[in-house]
Amino acid sequence: MLLLLIISTFCCLEVVHTHPENQKIGGVTQVEPLVTLEEKIWVAGDADVSHYRIPLLTYTPKNKNLLAMAEARKYATSDAGSKFLAIRRSNDGGYSWKPQQFIENDGSIFDGISLGSVVVDDELGNIFIVFSRCNHYEKCNISTLYYVKSTDDGYTWNNPVNMSMSIGTKAFAAGPGSGIQLKNSKYNGRLLVCGHGTLDGDGMFCLISDDHGDNWRYGGMLKSIPYNTPKVSGDFIPDECQPIEMPDGSVVVNTRNQGHYHCHCRIIAKSTDGGETFPIDDVYFDLNLIEPAVAAGALFHNGVMYFTNPTSTSHRVNMTLHWSYDLGKTWNNSLSIWPNPSGYSTMTTIPGLDNSIYILYEKGRVSTYESLSFVKVDLHH
C-alpha cells in the first residue's frame, strides 16, 4: 500500500522544464540572441552606384513591414559628393527585398544628400526621413535640412520639406539612425530627432516636434568643448547619436565620442524632460562600450537594452551585438556578428513581433564600404 501511494504521488507531480528564455535577471526575461538570417541588400557597384553607406532601418506603422535606407554615393566613397537617397522594402520580415528605389537625387556633384534619421509617428501612421545637404561645406556655404514624409506606409513620399526655414541654417546632421516618438511620459506623441553639427561647432543636438512633424524646433543639446573652435584629438566632441526612450519616460542618447575624450568609449547623455535639456550632471562615459569613433545602433526592447558597433578602440572591425538587463548599467553579454571590417550600424524591431530584432550594418572583407548587410536576430530559440 505504501509503495502504491508513493507511485501515485510521483505520477501526479507536474514536471516543470526550465528554459533559458524563461529565466529572469532583475525581473527581465533573459534572452539568447542567435543570428538566423543575414543578407547583403546593397553591394558596391549595384545600379552603377560607387558605394552605399549610412544604413537606416525601420518598421512601417501600418503593415509592420521593414524599410531600409542608404546613401547611394554615385561616384566615390566621399561624404561630400553627389548621391541618391536609396530605399528598399521587405514585406516578409527581411526574407526577401523589393528592388531599390531612388526617392531623392541631389543632381549635383558637390556635397549632396547626407542621411539622416528615420522616425515613425505611430499615432498618425506616418514615416519621416530627415536628411541634409551641404553639411560638409564642400564648394557650398549654406547647410539645409529637409524631411520627406510618407502617409502610405513608405510606398510613396512627398516632396522634400525645408526644415531650415524654422530651425535656421546652422549645420545639423540627423542621426544617423532612428528618431523616436515618446510614449512613456507627459510628452507622449512628441517626435525627437537627435544628431550633430559641424566638427568645429560640433555636439549632440536634438530637434523636437509636438505637432506630428508639421513644425520643428531645437530642444536639448550637449555642445563640444571648446565650441566653434578647431578641434584636436582629446577634445570633448559628442557627435553621431541614437536616442532611446526608457520605461520611466526619460530619454537616453548614446553618442559617438569623436575626440576620444576620457576614453575610447561612448558618451551617454540623459534627459528627464522629454529631450528639452541634457544636464551635464547626468552625462557619463560608458567604459564597457568601447569604440573607434563610429555611428552605432541602440535599442530598448521588452526590458532589454541592445547596442551594436564595431567593438574595437582603434579600427572599424568586429561588429558585435551587446545587451544589458539593467538599463545599460552593465553589459555582460555579447554576440559576434562579423569579425572583419564593419562600420556604421542601426537596429529596429517590428511591433508585436517580440522575438526578433533587426540590424543593418556596413560590412566588408577589405573595407567597411563593400556592402550593407541585413541581419535578423532571434531572441528566444
- Please give the C-alpha separations between residue 324 and each of 84, 119, 298, 321, in angstroms, as whole numbers: 36, 24, 11, 10
Beta bridge partners of residue 181, listed in sequence order: 191
Nearest to 372 by CA among 334, 335, 338: 338
Compute the distance between CA of residue 203 and CA of residue 256 in angstroms, rounded to an integer: 10
- 223 in Cβ contact with 203 (< 8 Å): yes
Compute the distance between CA of residue 40 and CA of residue 231 in angstroms, rounded to an integer: 36
284-290 and 297-301 as β-strands: parallel, antiparallel, unpaired? Answer: unpaired
Nearest to 115 by CA among 63, 59, 58: 58
Beta bridge partners of residue 300, listed in sequence order: 305
The single residue of 79, 200, 276, 326 carrying the catalytic annotation is 79
Residue 180 has which C-alpha cell? 523616436
Compute the distance between CA of residue 8 and CA of residue 164 in angstroms, rounded to an integer: 78
The single residue of 59, 261, 344, 361 carrying the catalytic annotation is 344
Compute the distance between CA of residue 238 and CA of residue 218 in angstroms, rounded to an integer: 17
Element (H, E) at 2: helix 2-11
Active site residue 344: yes
User: Who contacts 144 (Cβ-Cβ below 8 Å, separation ≥6)?
Assistant: 132, 133, 134, 162, 164, 169
The single residue of 104, 239, 286, 362 carrying the catalytic annotation is 362
Beta bridge partners of residue 295, listed in sequence order: none
Cis, bond preceding 176 (omega within 30 deg of 0):
yes
Active site residue 79: yes
- 194 in Cβ contact with 243 (< 8 Å): yes
User: Who contacts 239 (Cβ-Cβ below 8 Å, separation ≥6)?
Assistant: 196, 202, 204, 255, 256, 257, 258, 293
> Which are the catalytic amino acids?
79, 344, 362
